Amino acid sequence: MKRLMTRIGVIGLFVCCLTAAIAAAGQEPLRVGMELAYPPFEMTDKSGSPSGISVDLARDLGKALGRPVKIENMAFDGLIPALKTGKIDLIISSMTATGERARSIDFSDPYLQTGLCLLLKKDSPAATIRDLDRLGRTVAVKKGTTGHLYAAKNLKHARLLVLDKEAAAVLEVVQGKADAFIYDQMSVYQNWQRNRATTRAILAPFQKESWAIGIRKGNEPLRRQINDFIRSYRLSGGFDRLGNRYMKEMKQEFKRLGYPFFL
Amino acid sequence: MRIELVGIAKRFGEHQALRETTLALPDVHAMAVIGPSGGGKTTLLRLIAGLEIPDQGELFIDGERLESGQAALLRHRRSIGTVFQSFNLFPHLSALENIVLPLEKVHGYGRQAACDHAMALLERFQLAPHAGKRPAELSGGQQQRVAIVRAIAIKPRFLLFDEPTSALDPEMTAEVLDVIGELRAEGRDLIMVTHHMGFARSVADHCLFVGDGEILEEGPARDFFAAPRSGQLRSFLAKILKY
Amino acid sequence: MTGIFSLLTQRRGEAGPLAAMARLISWLLVFLAVGGVFTFAFSQLQYGWNWGAIADYRQKLFIGWMTTVAISCVSLCTSLIIGLAAALARRCPFLPVRYTGTLYVELIRGTPLLVQILIFFYVVADAFGIDNRYPVGVLTLSLFAGAYISEIIRAGIESVGESQLESARSIGLTRGQIYRFVIFPQVARQLIPPLAGQFASIIKDSSLLSIIAVSEFTLNAQEVNAYTYSTLESYIPLAVGYLLLTLPISLAGRVLERKYRYAH
């Protein structure tokens, strides 16, 4: 009797494990990398868990693909290496799709249009990016961003300050150590709002950019799935919902200023 | 030299090293200070050396009061020679340099004059072959003899010895005591704290017995050893001279 | 088997050609083993090596390396001065000076360098209107290293036996003369090995200055990585570049330590 019970127990355990394995294979988590330092797209809520537009987008994508989503927080300039080495499966971190980057990774269709803008110190006389490309001018950028790459390629005379964090770059401008900070339109707007006494903003983008989801090279089926998702998400008003949830004021303000809203 | 103590007392924290003491010594040339450990003899010597300031009272040497200001003490220390039980010499300098240092930097000798004077003294005490050696390369006895040379090189008013042979083995003890005996013979004044009763008896002309923070007995050497007056001195001598 | 094992076992300071041979063979074995581990690890990566990309930036990397060398040298000299001043201050009989020294050392040793760099540049220097990040960065690094150096110097000074100070006093040397002729000649030789270690630390710690955009070696390598997406190809030269600086220093430190060892 005891031997029979043992046998049933072992077989039962085996079946459970097998089922779990089969179930898990279909349910392999989707690891999405992002730098949680970019409100309102990638940020953390009061309890420290990831939140924001990109987080919600990732979760909705996971739901559509039938896979649980795990958000991995890492530095922006570490995202592409992490994707290449298989530490993460996707990059959804407000990353601009550039030709350079496309040599290392694949991008989905763009899901957002924006551009590079300038956050200037209050008394800077510059009106365009070209005004800043002069000896004696200092331009701050965040390491690894398209602003950094633009400045490295195009600004021949100005001094380039490469900072780790957006907050540090903004501080440089606020304290007058840098003439301008090159960053995307939304963040420039937000930082200007927070520092009205010490900064001003030029919100007309001098280089248009579009954001896309980063995928490891050679995974064409996944790319097709993601593009399908983006298309249907937009049609069903998913992006509008995200915009209203997180950026209602900015949406209205940009409408007032006459800039097209990007999401 | 004439030493006079008026109401001298010294304490270290809880411990009263010297109780209020008044003593006027006659003009002596060689004084031995003996007594049990921790009795206060080293403290007395250090007060005379200008290395400690008494808590109260005054100290007169040859009629002059020893001031307690830093400048006065510095001048006093520069005028006498002190030899401690050990670690007199600086380990990073050779024997010669150890002697030249005070001559050059404190007493204003020129470098060449200082070296010549030092070498002459080293030769006199058969230490010339060791002039270039560091203290670590010298034996204990040689180190103490170099320390004595350093003390006499500056032509001091008198010399102070704080148990100069206590850290040496018997053979080296003899060579150091020989040197001190020589110095005494050529007429130098000295005060020596020691355990060597035989040596004290032969070299000193006056002795002090210090115990329990007090000067329990003092007197000319002959009487001191031959006919001790106090019971404490008698029992101390009996213990010391037993073996 | 046991024969090989005993052949490669050595007590310290064994001499002779056989012993030297054993040391050489042992180093080779260790390097082979570690190299093997790394080679295996890298071969498991699906990583497209692209050394050509960073070859274009070799001048940038070299300039960054030279900047690190310059910053480290200036910091070492400045931190020696600061460390000496702090060590003497902590032995000063005048209490306010002594307490200033203690406060400085405890504050600096008790907070991370990263925090100090940020506060010194964005708060303190800004309050004084000083914008130039290079002198501020070097000063911050010097203040940081100075606190540790002051403790090394202080320990050295205090290791000079009390009896030597007694002896010095008894021959009539002033306080200043005692420092000059007795304490420092002995302490200076003793200081060389820990100072060599401190220099190596300064070289490595200087990489933190990248957070205030000081264009030193680490930041330059990170920028090259940003331009070329060749992470390993940017960072391996970075590690090698630092080793080229720190290894000779630690070797020199050990040579000097052996040279100046003598019994007290």
Q: Quick one: pLDDT at residue B100?
A: 95
Provide the terminal-to-terminal Cα distance of chain C, rounded to the nearest Å.
Answer: 45
CA distance B104 to B107: 6
Task: Say if residue C126 is in the same domain as residue C199.
Answer: yes
Task: Say if residue C109 is in the same domain as residue C147.
Answer: yes
More confident position, C217 or B241 = C217
More confident position, A20 or B144 = B144
Q: Chain B contact for C6, CB < 8 A?
A: no
Q: Give A90's pLDDT tier (boundaries 50, 70, 90).
A: very high
Q: CB distance C181–B101 less than 8 Å?
A: yes
Q: Quick one: pLDDT at residue A17?
A: 67
Cα nearest neighbour of B84 on chain C: C167
Task: Say if residue C11 is in the same domain as residue C98.
Answer: no
pLDDT in tens, A210-223: 999 999 998 899 99
Q: CB distance C226–A101 less than 8 Å?
A: no
Chain B: give the shortest CA distance to residue C197, in Å.
24
Of C46, C131, C211, the CB nearest to A86: C46
ipTM of the complex model: 0.88
In this structure, is the dihedral angle defined by the CA atoms of residues C135, C136, C141 and C147, taken in order, positive or negative?
positive
8 A C-beta contact, residue B194 and residue B161: yes
Task: Say if residue C24 is in the same domain as residue C113.
Answer: no
CA distance B76 to B68: 10
Mean pLDDT of B24-28: 88
8 A C-beta contact, residue A211 and residue A145: no
Q: Which sequence spans correspond to the domains of chain A? A: 28-111+212-257, 115-209
Q: CB distance C225–A177 less than 8 Å?
A: no
CATH number at residue C105: 1.10.3720.10
Task: Say if residue C40 is in the same domain as residue C133.
Answer: no
CA B163 to chain centre: 8
Strand order in the sheet with A30-34: A69-73, A30-34, A90-91, A214-215, A106-107
Q: Give the 3-state secondary structure of residue A183.
A: strand
Chain A: give the shortest CA distance to residue C29, in Å.
30
pLDDT in tens, B166-185: 888 888 888 899 999 999 99
pLDDT in tens, A111-153: 998 899 999 999 988 889 999 999 989 999 999 889 999 999 9
Chains meeting B at 3+ CB pairs closer than 8 A? C
Q: CB distance B78–C172 less than 8 Å?
A: yes
Residue C50 lies in a domain: no
Residue C264 lies in a domain: no
The mean pLDDT value of chain A amounts to 89
Residue C160 lies in a domain: yes
Q: CB distance B136–C170 less than 8 Å?
A: no
Chains meeting C at 3+ CB pairs closer than 8 A? A, B
Q: Chain B contact for C160, CB < 8 A?
A: no
- In a mutational test of the C interface, the residue from B92, B98, B103, B144 whose CB has the highest number of chain C CBs within 10 Å is B92
Q: CB distance C173–B134 less than 8 Å?
A: no
Q: Quick one: pLDDT at residue C262?
A: 52
**Position B113 pLDDT exceeds 70:** yes
How many distinct structural domains can be found in chain C? 2
pLDDT in tens, C14-43: 777 888 888 888 899 999 999 999 888 877
Residue C51 lies in a domain: no
Q: Chain C contact for A81, CB < 8 A?
A: yes
Q: Quick one: pLDDT at residue C137?
A: 95
Mean pLDDT of C104-114: 96
Of B130-134, B208-212, C34-38, C229-233, the one with minimum mean pLDDT is C229-233
Strands A180-184 and A138-142: parallel
Q: What pairs with residue A180 in β-bridges?
A: A120, A139
Q: Give C264's pLDDT tier (boundaries 50, 70, 90).
A: very low
Hey, what domains does chain B have and what are their CATH numbers? 25-54+65-80+158-243 (3.40.50.300), 89-155 (no CATH)
**Position C263 pLDDT exceeds 60:** no
Q: Give C103's pLDDT tier (boundaries 50, 70, 90).
A: very high
For A28-111+212-257, the fitting CATH number among 3.30.70.100, 3.20.20.105, 3.30.360.10, 3.40.190.10 is 3.40.190.10
Q: Quick one: pLDDT at residue A26?
A: 54
Q: Quick one: pLDDT at residue A24?
A: 53
Query: Residue type at C71?
Result: I
In sequence order, the 6+-apart residues with CB closer than 8 A to the CB of C51 are C230, C233
The mean pLDDT value of chain C amounts to 89
For A115-209, the fitting CATH number among 3.40.190.10, 3.30.465.10, 3.40.50.620, 3.30.390.50 is 3.40.190.10
CA distance B183 to B232: 31
What is the domain range of residue C7? 2-44
Q: CB distance A164–C231 less than 8 Å?
A: no
Helix (H) or strand (E) holding C232: helix C231-259
Q: CB distance A163–C211 less than 8 Å?
A: yes
Q: Give the 3-state secondary structure of residue B16.
A: strand
**Position B49 pLDDT exceeds 50:** yes
